[in-house]
Amino acid sequence: MSSSMQRCTDRFVSDAMDRLEMDEEMRLVLRTPYRVVEVELPLVRDDGGISVYTGFRVQHDQNRGPFKGGLRYHPSVDREHALGLAQLMTWKTAVVDIPFGGGKGGINVDPGAHSERELERLTKLFVTRLGPVIGPEVDIPAPDVGTGAREMGWIYEAYAKWAGARPGVVTGKPVEIGGSLGRTEATGRGVCHVTRWACEARERPLEGATVAVQGFGNVGSHAALFLARAGARVVAVSNRFGGVHRSGGLDVEALFSATAEAGGDIQLHDATEGERLEGGELLGLGVEILVPAALEGVIHPENVDDVQAELVVEGANAPVECEADDALADRGVMVVPDILANAGGVTVSYLEWVQNRQRYRWPEERVNGELEATLRGAWTAVHDRATSLDTSLRDAAYDLAVGRVKTAIDLRGF
């Protein structure tokens, strides 16, 4: 899955370089990561045993600002996986025009197989091993799959042991220790914003539109909640246990509350009225809007013909493989790319970092307003370019992102 993501990202970037007529030297600079860190993480278990994991941090580009990107705790994490995701962060921060570069990393661990004490020790060891290659002006981690506010708080504490209280070292922290109001909901809220603007561009209102959301974690659950509140008819949602479908619309508020109360994944079909969905059935439902908000590579050449939606909004990173993206484009399906659609999280991470530097917490209304304004500017720039050049939103987004990073390199030099 990770090799497919890397291959497709490379193709999207290479196509943008071709359109921008870049020379080979600049292409090499833009493709090559600035730094790759790999560290051994021996964890002393609660029972006295030892498990050894590997931590990764790929710092892809810092020409537009400090490296920025999440930390993922998942058995699939490896060097290539982190590299692919770090590249995506470079283009994501550039397309929404915030002053960060791209980084990503994590640990090849299953967090569900460990106690909270073990995860705390592992996280703090990871920070110690990363040492001076992270920091508020260097590289600022954030949550990703398998991590959240809890882990970010541990990172802040571990870093403070030798650098002092510098909350800007990490974003996505609990509000009580320097996190931003609105950060938890930001990615899902952003997905809702761009979905609404995409509907307006297609001259089809979001209100009453049928929606299916694959993935009911932080991003998918909030996206579904905000879309329902905006008047869309969310008819199907799913998680790793399966899904639930109801043609008249689901009680998303009830599903959201039940998931929150359970502390994560639940059997969704048991929590509300509807028909049970298995496996990838949700992707082939006859809905107007499809939001893949789980993991990468879920829409691929083998199942792309099953997709019936007219609009696909990438809530996850790289959920549509490049060959599937071509097939959807040939059918006239609008795809809002991940580097724009799910950029709400990194946008509010930037706003959290700004608040940490100011040592002043903003009201949630201000955070949400800044988020919407930032994403609206990015959407307008991408959509205007796509319209004027008669190209896809993905091509337009990558053209803008790659071009902005190149401009920064030209201005700064080497």
Q: Whole-angstrom Cα distance, residue 249 to residue 90?
A: 37
From the candidates 104, 124, 173, 406, which is the catalytic residue?
A: 104
Token pair of 38, please? Answer: 């790999």
Q: Whole-angstrom Cα distance, residue 189 to residue 208?
A: 18
If 0-12 CB within 10 Å is exposed, 13-18 middle and 19+ buried, where does residue 331 land? exposed
Q: Whole-angstrom Cα distance, residue 303 to residue 360?
A: 48
Do 402 and 20 touch, CB atoms closer than 8 A?
yes
Closest CA to 139 of 114, 105, 116, 111: 105
CA distances from 366 to 223, 288, 321, 352, 373 (A): 20, 32, 36, 12, 10
Query: SS3 for the chain, per residue?
Result: CHHHHHHHHHHHHHHHHHHCCCCHHHHHHHHCCCEEEEEEEEEECCCCCEEEEEEEEEEEECCCCCEEEEEEECCCCCHHHHHHHHHHHHHHHHHCCCCCCEEEEEECCCHHHCCHHHHHHHHHHHHHHHHHHCECCCEEEEECCCCCHHHHHHHHHHHHHHHCCCHHHCCCCCHHHCCCCCCCCHHHHHHHHHHHHHHHHCCCCCCCCEEEEECCCHHHHHHHHHHHHCCCEEEEEEECCEEEECCCCCCHHHHHHHHHHHCCCCCHHHHCCCEEECCCHHHHCCCCEEEECCCCCCECCCCHHHCCCCEEECCCCCCECHHHHHHHHHCCCEEECHHHHCCHHHHHHHHHHHHHHHCCCCCHHHHHHHHHHHHHHHHHHHHHHHHHHCCCHHHHHHHHHHHHHHHHHHHHCC
Q: Give yes or no: 104 in active site.
A: yes
Residue type, 152: M
Residues involved in catalysis:
104
